[in-house]
Chain A
Amino acid sequence: AQKVTQAQTEISVVEKEDVTLDCVYETRDTTYYLFWYKQPPSGELVFLIRRNSFDEQNEISGRYSWNFQKSTSSFNFTITASQVVDSAVYFCAGGGSNYKLTFGKGTLLTVNP
C-alpha cells in the first residue's frame, strides 16, 4: 500500500518569502508517479506537476520548483518569492503502475501581504 505524508499541516509566510512544502511517498512499487495539486479558496483542484520515479531531474517552472529524491522518497515543492495568490491548500499524491492515486492530507499555505 502506498502512503503519502505531508508533515506540514499549515504554513504561514510573508509575501516574497520562499517556502518549501514537503512530501514523502512510501511505496513498494519500483515505478511510480508523483503529483502536486493546488486547491485555491474557490475549491477546484489545479494540476501543477507530474513526476515519474525514474526521472530524478529537478524541475523549475517560473517561481515553482520541484525536488525529487528517490533515495529519501521525497518530492518537495518550493515557491520562490511567494505571492498572496499562492495561498491555497497544496496536495501531494502518488500512484503506482495501476495509477491509483493516494493523496496526502494537504498543506494549507497562507501568504500574508
Chain B
Amino acid sequence: EAQVTQNPRYLITVTGKKLTVTCSQNMNHEYMSWYRQDPGLGLRQIYYSMNVEVTDKGDVPEGYKVSRKEKRNFPLILESPSPNQTSLYFCASRSQGLLHFGNGTRLTVT
C-alpha cells in the first residue's frame, strides 16, 4: 500500500531535549516536505526536499533541521525544542503535484 509513515503519532517532551520525528514514504517520490499545523494558521511549510541531499527552507524553518540521505526518508529534527514548537506536524511526499500526507505527529513541548 502506497503511504507516508510518520512516527511517533504522539510525543510529549521537555524544553531543550533533542528529538527526531521520522518520515518514510514507499512511493519513490523525489519531493518531500514538512508542515506544521496550528489553530487559526492552517498548515505552514517548514522544510522541503526536491531530492536526495537537496533540502531548502520553507516558510517557518527556525528551530528545525532536516536531512535527506536517502529518497524514502525525511526526518525532522528539533535540536532544542521549545514550547512554541508544540504543534501538529505533517510529513508529505509529492507526485505530479499531488501531496500525500502522513497521519501526523502531535508534539507537546513542556
Contact = CB atoms under 8 A, between A and B. Distances in A.
Interface of A: 4, 6, 9, 33, 35, 37, 43-45, 47, 50, 91, 93, 95, 99-101, 103-106
A105 B40 contact: yes
Q: Contact residue range for chain B?
A: 20 to 34
A7 to B, nearest CB: 13
Interface of B: 31, 35, 40-45, 48, 88, 90, 94, 97-101, 103-104, 106
Contact of B42 (A50, A99, A104): A104
A19 to B, nearest CB: 20
Contacts, number: 42
A45 B97 contact: no
27 contacts: A9-B40, A33-B97, A37-B101, A43-B88, A43-B103, A43-B106, A44-B101, A44-B103, A44-B104, A45-B90, A45-B104, A47-B98, A47-B100, A50-B97, A50-B98, A91-B42, A93-B43, A99-B31, A99-B97, A100-B45, A100-B48, A101-B99, A103-B44, A104-B42, A105-B41, A105-B42, A106-B42
A100 B31 CA distance: 10
Contacts of A9: 40
A97 B23 CA distance: 25
